[in-house]
Structure 1
Amino acid sequence: MIDVAFNDFQSAAHAVLAYLHKRFGFGLWMVTRTEGEDWIVLQAEDHGYGVKAGSVFRWADSFCSEMVKGNGPRIAPDCDAVAVYAAAPIGRQVPIKAYIGVPLTKADGSLFGTLCAIDPVSQSPEIVAEQHLVELLARLLSTILHADLLLSHEIRRNERLELEAQTDPLTGLFNRRAWDQMLHREEERCVRFGHPAAAVVVDLAGLQHVNDSEGHAAGDALIVCAAQALRASVREVDILARLGGDEFGVVAVECNEAGGHALVARLRAAFAAYGVDASIGMAMRDPTWGLDAAWQRADRLMYSEKRRLRG
């Protein structure tokens, strides 16, 4: 029986994977998230493949990508007998002779990821009769996922309220201390659910010159103007902070690469409308390295743009 002592998606997934391995065997059971071209392993019950949580593969290479399109069966006791599975690139990366896979869905019915298994040895055709059980467990996991995502969003809102005191007095944005805490908490959510996220670093051009030539009041006015442009460009759910004198940071949460580029375009348009010159760097979170690495890469890209603009 499944250990029912779980209270969130992560622990439920762990219990389901352990149960399915005990019932069916198979060298690897996984709960995965698909995001863009990435196929991210959120949980793994591994017995010989060397795959662990946080591993990332190409979604298009997987059996699961064919399964969700209806091109292959949800249970294949002999993968060599299924043309699309026999031809799938992932079969050349790891030995796969048997496959089980069913979709995990979001509340709106769109694809979140998969509950799946592979084994290097062909299995008895009798396992096809167990498809309804695996589908039932996938539906239960999807239901727990829906509730856990709603709770996660509520927790994120409460975190913002708790950190409201940690703001920059000039702009009213979160300060560096709040940024560090929120970055850490958002990374935990990304690891747990496989969320994408974009990190953006903004540096104002000419702040020191304005301070020297027009006075600090004028410099403060420029900073406040930049903060207004930033607020006008980000979503309410995004993390926005003043990191230093002329530097700002944004984490666009649950945001894919197209959304990240769209955010940069909105920022450039807003800065132009507010008459603010700024350098911008944007980097997507890589599931292997995390949000902190994305922030550091965005910072480097910002400085590269700054040097380029200086000529």
Structure 2
Amino acid sequence: MMNDFAAASRATMQFLRQRLGFKLWMVTRTDGKDWIVLFADDNGYGVKAGQVYSWAEMLCSRMVEGAGPNIAPDVAREPAYASAQIHDKVTVGAYVGVPLRRADGTLFGTLCGIDPEPQPERIRDEQDMVVLMGELLGGLLEAELSGTEAVRKAERNDVDSTRDELTGLYNRRGWDMLAAREEERCRRYGHPACVVSIDLDDLKFYNDTQGYASGDALLIRCSKALKDVTRGSDVVARMGGDEFAMLMVECDYFDAQAMLLRVQETLAGYDVRASIGMAMRKPGIDLEESLAMADAEMYRAKRSRKVLN
């Protein structure tokens, strides 16, 4: 095994393919209703890293529930597996799967393999070995994820020179650098993330009627509000002029909705009026695309506010 989760996953899948055969081996991540392929060793199914499937349809979901065994040489003989919806999409004759868990016992994903043909009964004898491989991968994963906060702190220190002088937030260059590093983690571990785009409604009015010092004060109030609602691992940036952005790391849709409400309430508490857009980063939509989507939603909100006013 290697000391890197990605490299170790690939080495594990290659070893299992050589040991047990099977046309497809995968290391996956579960995220709500989604089952995300992080790494794949595919020889016939056409599965690639980044593809997303329904968790409820997968044999792995039933394995994790304890409804089916870790190794099924002939899935047709396992009622829990034989009735799975995945059979409507692909041919599965044999299955191997073990959970990948965090140190606290929560499910991260699975290490699994499938083949279109039933396999000899003797592959059941390999269960202890496959379970051990899953535990080793889980331990390596936990070590990497546990060190993520230290890595993020070091990254923030590296880009401290990219701060906006007025607000103390990161500027666009700092945002681009940190977002690129978070995107790498999202791809590697299947982390969800949320991007928020914020545009102040009244900056020009303050500058024109009360002077630039008043406009600067508005920008500072906005930055303080955004700092109040974000965690140390998140990224908050002044993208330029009256535009701000937030990157909420390892944030699923439900957490994102709650966070968006806090942003709105906190901005109001600082007497800041703003138009806001939000988008989720998920497989197939990277952080750069998520920012563009959040921007588009923010501009729609701004146009609606102007119509109402």
**TM-score normalized by structure 1?**
0.97
Counterpart CA distance in 2 for 1:202 and 1:249 is 6
Taking the aligned partners of 1:152 and 1:50, their CA distance within structure 2 comes to: 32
- The alpha-carbon deviation at position 70 of structure 1 amounts to 1.0
Post-superposition offset of 1:282: 0.9
Q: CA offsets, 1:111-134, max 9 Å, x none?
A: 000000010001111111211110
Partner of 2:256: 260
Distance 1:104 1:151 in 2: 18
Superposed counterparts of 1:160-309, under 5 Å: 160-309=156-305
Deviations 1:175-214 (A, max 9, x none): 0000001111100011111111001111111211111111
Equivalent residue letter for 2:128: H
Distance in 1, matches of 2:186 and 2:3, equals 18
| Alignment correspondent of 1:128 | 124
Runs (4 or more) in structure 1 with deviation over 2 Å come to 150-153
Query: Aligned Cα RMSD in Å?
Result: 1.0
Please say if 1:100 is aligned against 2:100.
Answer: no
**1:220, 1:58 → 2: CA distance?**
48
- Deviation for aligned residue 1:151: 2.8
C-alpha distance in structure 2 between counterparts of 1:90 and 1:309, whole Å: 46
Please report how far the alpha carbon of residue 286 of structure 1 lies from its aligned counterpart in structure 2 after TM superposition: 1.8
Q: Deviations over 1:221-266 (max 9, x none)?
A: 0010011110111111101100011111111001111111111011
The residue type paired with residue 91 of structure 1 is H
The reply to whether residue 14 of structure 1 matches residue 10 of structure 2 is: yes
Corresponding residue for 1:119? Answer: 115
Match of 1:91 in 2: 87
Q: Supply the distance in 2 between the matched residues of 1:112 and 1:71 (Cα, whole angstroms).
A: 19
Give the number of aligned pairs: 307
Letter of the 1:191 partner, please give it.
R
Aligned-pair distance for 1:147?
1.0
Q: Distance in 2 between matches of 1:152 and 1:33?
A: 17
Q: What SS is found at the alignment partner of 2:276?
A: strand
Counterpart in the other structure of 1:52 = 48
1:99 Cα deviation after fit:
0.6
Structure 2 unaligned segments of length 5 or more: list them.
Answer: none
Normalising by structure 2, what TM-score?
0.97
The one-letter code of the counterpart of 2:75 is C
Shift of 1:156: 1.2
Aligned partner of 1:287: which letter? P
* Displacement of 1:303: 0.9
Secondary structure of the residue aligned to 2:215 is helix
* Conservation of the 8 A alpha-carbon contact between 1:85 and 1:91: no
| Partners of 1:65 and 1:169 in 2: CA distance | 50
> Distance in 2 between the 1:219 and 1:51 partners?
53
| Percent pairwise identity | 49
Whether 1:77 aligns to 2:73 is yes
Equivalent residues of 1:283, 1:295 under 8 A apart: yes
* Letter matched to residue 237 of structure 1: S
C-alpha distance in 2, partners of 1:203/1:28? 47
